[in-house]
Chains A and B, each alone.
Chain A
Amino acid sequence: MNGLKSLRGSAAIAGVATFGCGEAPGYSDMELLANAARAAVADAGLKMSDIDGLCTASGAATMWAMPVVEYLGIRPSYIDGTMIGGSSFIAHLLPAMQALQSGQCNAVLVCYGSAQRTATFGRREVVASRRFLDPQPYETPYEPMQPLSAYALAASRHMHEFGTTRRQLAEVAVAARGWAQRNPEAFMREPLSIDEVLGARMVCDPLTVRDSCLVTDGGGAYVLVRADRARDLPNPPVYVLGNGTAVWNRQISSMHDLTVTAARDSGRAAFAMAGLAPKDIDVVQLYDAFTINVLLFLEDLGFCAKGEGGAFVEGGAIGPGGRLPVNTNGGGLSCVHPGMYGIFALIEAVRQLRGAGGERQVAGVKTALAHGNGGTLSSQSTAVLGLEETL
């Protein structure tokens, strides 16, 4: 771990951008990615020709880095196409820091785009194709509605073991909506009450459609450079203090304990590298594919004890004005969720650290945590970020 500690703060996020979040009819995955990439590079005060490192992943294309290289017209000396679901774009951080530190590259672009909502080949078709390209022969015959059924199974177990209630799960959705109402980029901004979540259409018991993330379009990108270079660029550098990634299983039926995710390991590694603890974190961005995720990750990352996630979020505790600001953009539940959300969690953490959150800005943010989840509670990656004074 000493070697990783030496990387603490060695790189910084110098540029971020989103594009086409919500509905972007007529745009392809690549066009959304390219617009976000161009804007992130500009935000960093760089030109596309400065980019010599690329990290990207796609929910559909297995060789996605190649068409992205071609489309952007870059010649990267560092390429990471690791695809572990929605956490990928946070998991890309640590290898990119190592590549920057070794001198393999000087400016890494991490980018994603998906037209999942409006594309003719959308979520339904991707799920159908995956049955052949990436089979799960021990689960598929039972016709789970994935990924939703896996999270519903985890929620059923959490409720059974800890007495967690549907009302506590609903608190997560209501808090996210409260933040979304303060974010002009968020897709769903009308008021939402706990009773409305409880009364919403049940999809996989105990999860309703309002316990579930949106299906939107959107692109997101960020640019990572060495810390010394970041100080010469226009934006206040957002330093990467720690990053950890863990995968324990792919299928929900292979998960040892449905109430404990690999976020326990990814969080421990990220905090160890950062030399910080949950109490030191000012804003928290958690991949909220479903409401149960937030309870699991608050527990596994150490913001509360195992089993106490439900009680922790009660009374608007993670919404605007609550004790811990969580998912300040409105999250995957109310802001944006184009197939894989991880990069948007990281972008929101950077915006909060820059003080660029507008009406939703949390006062005095110096540290932030962004946590990505992938598959069906399968992959977890945690990043701890901070401003200059946290170095």
Chain B
Amino acid sequence: MNPPTLLDSEGGVLARHQAALNEGRFLIQRCSSCARAVYFPRELCPHCGHAELAWVHPAGTGTVYAVTTVRRKLEAGGDCNVSLIDLDEGVRLMSRVEGVPSGDVRIGQRVQARVVQQNGQGLVVFDLLAAEGAGA
């Protein structure tokens, strides 16, 4: 019989991931068994089923994989960029690219993560990496 698994006093991975973001830190996971990066955070590895997932700081660099502009009236907040970003560690997340009009965001552009506080919650957004240029 397996020994009982102890609860983490800080809660599940969703809460711990958010708590780090609220302190300005963006964390992803890496599986201790198969070594693959994991995002969004899981209690077990979706690749191999292993339970030991270590928190790691990603480089924060990535590439725009897909992009849309949600067209909204000004009173509803105005147009809003929604992008899927592939981090260099090999995981994908939904986010938005800030600092440029949404229509200027292109698939293949290199981006850098930044944590902002929105409605009292830490949130990962991205900026274009100008030095590396556009297109990929």
Contact = CB atoms under 8 A, between A and B. Distances in A.
B103 A252 contact: no
A149 B82 contact: yes
Contacts of B119: 141
A143 interface: yes
Interface residues of A, number: 26
A202 B40 CA distance: 30
Nearest to A154: B66
A243 to B, nearest CB: 27
B5 interface: no
B66 A153 contact: yes
A199 to B, nearest CB: 14
B61 interface: no
Given A204-B69, A205-B68, A205-B69, A144 B82 contact: yes
Count class of interface residues, chain B: 20 to 34
A132 interface: no
Interface string B67-83: 11111100001001011
B70 A156 contact: no
A139 B66 CA distance: 14
A189 interface: no
A149 B94 CA distance: 11
The 9 closest A-B CB pairs, nearest first, are A152-B68, A153-B66, A253-B94, A138-B40, A160-B107, A157-B66, A205-B69, A139-B94, A204-B68
24 contacts: A138-B93, A138-B94, A139-B94, A141-B118, A143-B77, A143-B82, A144-B70, A145-B70, A145-B72, A153-B83, A156-B66, A156-B107, A157-B65, A203-B71, A204-B68, A204-B69, A204-B70, A205-B69, A251-B94, A253-B92, A253-B94, A254-B92, A258-B65, A258-B66
